[in-house]
Structure 1
Amino acid sequence: MSTQRVLITGPFGEAGEALRNHLVGEDRYEFTFLDRNEHPEYETHVADVSDYEAIRPAFDGQDAVVHLAAQSDAGADFGDVVEPNIVGTYNVLKAAQDAGVEKLVFASSQRVMGLYEEDHAPELYEEEYPLLLDHESLPKPDGYYGASKLFGENILRSHARRDASPEQMFSLRISSVRTERYDHPYGDAERGVDRGDEHELGDDDEVWDQSQTGSWERGSEQYERMVKRLKATWTSQRDFAHLVDCCLQNETVTYDTFYAVSDNASRWFDTEHAKEVLGYEPKDDGCRWDGPPEVEGASSES
């Protein structure tokens, strides 16, 4: 099997860390990174995705692109998402097309469906709640960030239908991928315990209501709410990397949309479509955990 040359944009966020931990170093891939900053330990093309001429050379000779770069603040204003998420996604698509790249994997977001959570939470986090969204469910973005990701999905779909270039395109509606330290269904709750009163909300913090900001203690109402939510939305690093691997190895999809979420019993996003089309085999289920890994007595099924 020949080595596949893959460009990753925005490889140093949470989703990018998952790929660095689980795919980089695999013999079947040769990775190049595109980022706004230099990273001497990796082969990195330094450019901003909003600048087409600056990013274009990075696409030459690539077999596939995984486009992760974005403004990831779910509460961002429209002006904050235009350049990185709308112009940037178009530039990546155009550069891939102009360079003859065969595959494009686009990092969309569960925020494309965000209003469902606003309408149904917190009961939605229970295992028996009767809601399961699939790739054909009506999108309902909950803000400009989610709307910008829906734009990305639609422009990929349009190019697939009109130009068939790149030949294969995949939109992954990513749920909650976390850094290695918090890569478990208690991660968000434990992050609140760890960060203390001096914490300022960062771009990668998911906030569905203001009660989720700040810090809290184990066992508090906020802690337990965060645990319930992440048990439903958790996408483990290894499951996310596996799903991207499935896309890169697939030879049949022209354009399709998939939910990037682990096989959590309380999830409200469908995984059957990814299993049937891509051969996705998630290994993790947040509902199997009964405590964070650093707490004595906590356990999970592997």
Structure 2
Amino acid sequence: MKRLLITGAAGALGRAMRVRLASSAETLRLSDISDLGAAGPNEELMQCDLGDADAVHRLVEGCDGILHLGGISVEDKFSKILNANLLGLYNLYEAARAHGHPRILFASSNHTVGFYRQDQHIDVTAPMRPDGLYGVSKCFGEALARMYFEKFGQETALVRIGSCMEKPSNHRMLSSWMSYSDFKLLIDCVFRAPMLGCPIIWGVSNNDARWWDNSHATYLGWKPQDNAESYRAELDATLGRPDPTAPLSLYQGGNFIMDPIFPEK
């Protein structure tokens, strides 16, 4: 790619991918509403509120790929989720439509299906069961991306990220964890695929205890290498065995199912 846009580049996952994707495009255009620090040798920095349509159009112009990590990533007030995850995503897709349909990897979430139990194994045909307003916003995002694909041919990989971090931090993540390295491999596969379409992909490493079936997406050639099982003994030693009746042990969304609806006042 000549220019890859990474939204949400100041977040934890954005910072991790900023380093790992440095050689994936001639130029990385990095964006966030927060401070991005100093630009690297092949980086462009553009501060942007996703709710500002004109700013998003300027952000997308000249890009031939978009890694969309931006937005609210936890449960929050609906007004914040509305601006960043709904209006902001609409602005992004309208900008992509206006600027040549750059391929998009949309960071969706396992919280689109958070109310499934951990003893249920599902594929992408399973109905959505969001566990909060954040999860609902990702359901909206997947539907919006599908409509832009069907109506305008805008290709998007809808990646339902499990728990993408350096290593699992609790026992639930023995199933949901995706390593930074495996995410980088997935990003490479998405942007080099001759034909992408608009697939839903479970963002999860090759964990023994995973709940999600990715067999429909084998055409992308993604073969995650890491396995959270190697951290089980460490988690047992540091955290002890989890309470089997707690939401963290029962539901795929873990404690997100317990989050309240935050009042606007």
CA displacement at 1:291 relative to structure 2: 4.2
After TM superposition, the structure 1 = structure 2 runs for residues 187-198 of structure 1, keeping only pairs within 5 Å, are 188=169
Equivalent-residue separation in structure 1 for 2:144 and 2:34 (angstroms): 27
Determine if the alignment matches structure 1 residue 162 to structure 2 residue 151: yes
CA displacement at 1:290 relative to structure 2: 4.4
Partner of 2:159: 172
Contact 2:10/2:31 (CA < 8 Å) preserved in 1?
no
Structure 2: stretches of 5+ with no match in the other structure: 238-265
Equivalent-residue separation in structure 1 for 2:152 and 2:210 (angstroms): 35
TM-score normalised over the length of structure 1: 0.72
Equivalent-residue separation in structure 1 for 2:160 and 2:178 (angstroms): 11
Determine if the alignment matches structure 1 residue 266 to structure 2 residue 209: yes
Choose the corresponding residue for 2:167, options 165, 170, 184.
184
Equivalent-residue separation in structure 1 for 2:192 and 2:108 (angstroms): 19
Equivalent-residue separation in structure 2 for 1:161 and 1:89 (angstroms): 17
Equivalent-residue separation in structure 2 for 1:38 and 1:18 (angstroms): 15
Equivalent-residue separation in structure 2 for 1:290 and 1:138 (angstroms): 30
From the superposition, tell whether residues 47 and 282 of structure 1 become closer, same or farther in structure 2 (CA, over 3 Å): same
Structure 1: stretches of 5+ with no match in the other structure: 189-225, 296-302
Residue 65 of structure 1 aligns to a residue whose secondary structure is: strand
Backbone CA RMSD of aligned residues: 1.8
Residue 267 of structure 1 aligns to a residue whose secondary structure is: coil
Give structure 1 regions of 4+ aligned residues with deviation exceeding 4 angstroms. Answer: 290-293
Per-residue CA distance 1:168-216 (angstroms, 9 max, x = gap): 21110001012xxxx122xx2xxxxxxxxxxxxxxxxxxxxxxxxxxxx
Partner of 1:233: 176
Residue 105 of structure 2 aligns to a residue whose secondary structure is: strand
From the superposition, tell whether residues 177 and 137 of structure 1 become closer, same or farther in structure 2 (CA, over 3 Å): same
Residue 137 of structure 2 aligns to a residue whose secondary structure is: helix
CA displacement at 1:273 relative to structure 2: 2.8
Equivalent-residue separation in structure 1 for 2:203 and 2:78 (angstroms): 25
Equivalent-residue separation in structure 1 for 2:205 and 2:22 (angstroms): 21
CA displacement at 1:251 relative to structure 2: 1.9
Partner of 2:189: 246
After TM superposition, the structure 1 = structure 2 runs for residues 1-302 of structure 1, keeping only pairs within 5 Å, are 3-26=1-24, 28-39=25-36, 40-41=38-39, 42-73=43-74, 75-116=75-116, 120=117, 124=118, 129=119, 131-164=120-153, 166=154, 168-178=155-165, 183-185=166-168, 188=169, 226=170, 228-274=171-217, 276-292=218-234
CA displacement at 1:83 relative to structure 2: 0.4
CA displacement at 1:80 relative to structure 2: 2.7
TM-score normalised over the length of structure 2: 0.82
Equivalent-residue separation in structure 2 for 1:270 and 1:175 (angstroms): 13
Residue 37 of structure 1 aligns to a residue whose secondary structure is: coil
Structure with max Cα Rg: 1
Partner of 1:298: none
Contact 1:14/1:177 (CA < 8 Å) preserved in 2?
no
Instruction: Give the fraction of aligned pairs with identical amino acids, expressed as a percent.
Output: 30
Q: Which moved more, 1:153-162 or 1:39-48?
A: 39-48
CA displacement at 1:99 relative to structure 2: 1.1
Residue 164 of structure 2 aligns to a residue whose secondary structure is: coil
